[in-house]
Structure 1
């Protein structure tokens, strides 16, 4: 296998939830650059249209709220009819709020879990039969630093992202004998518009992040994109059931 073949995603059809913005959009850019046909999934048509236009002819989109879990099969059928069988699924969509357990209402907790966990479960369940039939596929979950350690006042989000670790391990064991690899990527602190605004108003938090990160800087969205390409490419054909931290060393920092 040549270097180009090892990292090529030519012929792949990748569905990325939350693909119109943030890290999902960065992953979409990287997958398109590697040759994949990418379908962006999200709730806001205007964002999806803008992102797909930016990405070019290898990108399409589908308007869908993954929290509407009963419609996961409809989404997969629609994508198959328009673009072909999904061979890569990236469970990236999510929401976030800062509240302790005392402040978190049950309805808020359920809504966040429906998006991150139940939404990812139902969509994964919908794509698996086609992957099994073809004997190949890749499923990727966007985890988080909160999957590994506690962060103050993000109880619900931490719970949801921690669940991804179990999903990756269990699915990898169940599905890899059928030709489907399952992995995750765990972004550290990445420089985005949202993070820049948040850190600008909280210099102490920014310094705490930098002090804990051995590389001494924030990551870039494309760092997550290229990690996703690797994990879904032939180069990672023997990588299965792992969650790859892309964090500048934060998990091992002191």
Structure 2
């Protein structure tokens, strides 16, 4: 008989999550911990700031201050984590933020900064961990994609470029790494009930109406929906899944 509890368990595994102390990253941390993983959160905030949201997890979560844009330091950070916490089998590239400007107002520096944070930084950290995962014959790498990986949204051209770029990384890295036991996937969150969502929609009923009209399930998602998708893709239950981007969006991508 199939033991589904074991298939979905992450017990004994170490996961590295960028931006895992807040927002959807925190939800991924919480779900990974609940599945039994030890989580190493990387973030640019200070340890004291991170402790506010991470202290509840006790020794199951560790924090390292790291700016993902500091790409030259990525190999050193990977080596430090492996030395302190043992083999890393899960990497979630989640760090990032928006730069909301129309193209007329976005400078080349703005655009480059967004790409460095989302795309180049994720590439550098992934590059640092891939040889280690290949040597161990097991790994799950997840990129936090977006609806803007697929659809046009105004005023976020840098963000959309980076998120679309994740799809290329997922496809290419799958072709390069799958034979070594390293799976590479992405998650594309839809509209999720977060403070950022409310900030964007609470005083804009027209925008909220437009969003809800294209979601067949007629509701927003919860942060835990993203966290559990990450657990699934990292678990043995997804052992034959690589090269995909999983929309967690209530059907929004196909909404009429």
Alpha-carbon distance, 1:25 to partner: 0.3
Would you identify which runs of 4 or more consecutive aligned residues in structure 1 move more than 2 Å?
none
Q: Is residue 215 from structure 1 mapped to residue 217 from structure 2 by the alignment? A: yes
Alpha-carbon distance, 1:83 to partner: 1.3
Structure 1 equivalent of residue 38 of structure 2: 37
Contact 2:99 2:110 in 1 (8 A): no
Contact 2:42 2:64 in 1 (8 A): yes
Structure 2 equivalent of residue 12 of structure 1: 13
Query: Counterparts in 2 of 1:135-154, with a 5 A limit?
Result: 135-154=137-156
Structure 1 equivalent of residue 136 of structure 2: 134
- Once the two structures are overlaid, the 10-residue window that deviates more, 56-65 or 94-103, is 94-103
Number of paired residues? 254
Structure 1 equivalent of residue 106 of structure 2: 104
- Give the TM-score taking structure 2 as reference length: 0.97
Q: Is residue 253 from structure 1 mapped to residue 255 from structure 2 by the alignment? A: yes
Contact 1:90 1:142 in 2 (8 A): yes
Query: Counterparts in 2 of 1:1-254, with a 5 A limit?
Result: 1-45=2-46, 46-254=48-256
Alpha-carbon distance, 1:53 to partner: 0.7
Alpha-carbon distance, 1:122 to partner: 0.5
- Give the TM-score taking structure 1 as reference length: 0.98
Render the CA deviation track for 1:99-146: whole Å, top value 9, x for unaligned: 122211011111111111110110000001111111111100000000
Render the CA deviation track for 1:41-71: whole Å, top value 9, x for unaligned: 1011233222321222211110000001101
- Once the two structures are overlaid, the 10-residue window that deviates more, 63-72 or 189-198, is 189-198
RMSD over equivalenced CA pairs, Å: 0.9
Ranges in structure 1 where 5+ consecutive residues have no aligned partner: none
Ranges in structure 2 where 5+ consecutive residues have no aligned partner: none
